[in-house]
Homo-oligomer: A and B are copies of this chain.
Amino acid sequence: MLGDCLERVRKTVPLVHNITNYVTVNDVANVLLACGGSPIMSDEPEDVEDITSICGGLNVNIGTLNQSSIKAMFLAGKKANELGHKVLLDPVGAGASKLRTETAVRLMDEVKFTVIRGNISEIKTLALGSGTTKGVDADMADAVTEETLDQAVSFVKSFAKLTGSIVAVTGAIDLVSDSEKCFVIRNGRPEMGKITGTGCQLSGLMTAFLVANDGNELEAAAGAVCTMGLAGEIGWANMKEGDGNSTYRNRIIDAIYNMDKATLDKGAKYEVR
């Protein structure tokens, strides 16, 4: 089933507008191309409404926000809402600074997001005002583990209900919920945390999945998470002696490029709660 979501991306080549950080932007673009989408980047307020209008989806990532790109996020987000486009929020570093937290909260107030995707500390910050964000990584104290899973599923469902968005919390165990159902996903490798921007890459990928799978957003979001995690597993299996995080980055994107429906359906590890 999730394999069909990927196949629809490859068939429809969704154009995705990214307002994203300059750290990981190149990888985001290559991941979008790898999965069959088409990326365009623009963060100038005077440019973004035109650009988002020709796209099917908008990926908003606050990883290196500035005064100008913040304006662009609001303009593009509202225009995308008007046009009924899919819109994703990646609140990078929410909880790490006042500006990041407030920008994410204001964005949630003024823009309707199809999906909010972050690590557990970022999402807790947005939900409770109390995550203990460690820079751009989740704090261990917040981590979703088998022990805290029931509680975490219920938290994610509630936050999805409150926001009216699909909420995707990614980490060792990933949770994707639309408030009714919650996908609990166990793909991925811990070594993915040693590559900058696997979260940002997933946000780009997920936006393409959302655009290509209209009316089937929950499965699309879960399919994107499984694709990224499974690519992390396949990429790791292709590592050779002497390889490290830089080669691993390439291997993961390569694995997305080569992923097909059958591989994804066979390799996706999830349950629905």
Contacts and interface: CB of A to CB of B under 8 A. Distances in A.
Contacts of A247: 250-251, 254
Given A46-B67, A66-B44, A242 B246 contact: no
Copies in the complex: 3
Contact of A246 (B21, B25, B96, B253): B253
A47 to B, nearest CB: 5
B238 A242 contact: yes
A68 B265 CA distance: 47
Interface string A193-206: 01111000000000
A29 to B, nearest CB: 4
A249 B97 CA distance: 33
Interface string A240-258: 0011111101111111111
Interface of A: 15, 21-27, 29-30, 33-34, 38-44, 46-47, 50-51, 54-55, 63-68, 93, 96-100, 134-137, 194-197, 234, 238, 242-247, 249-258
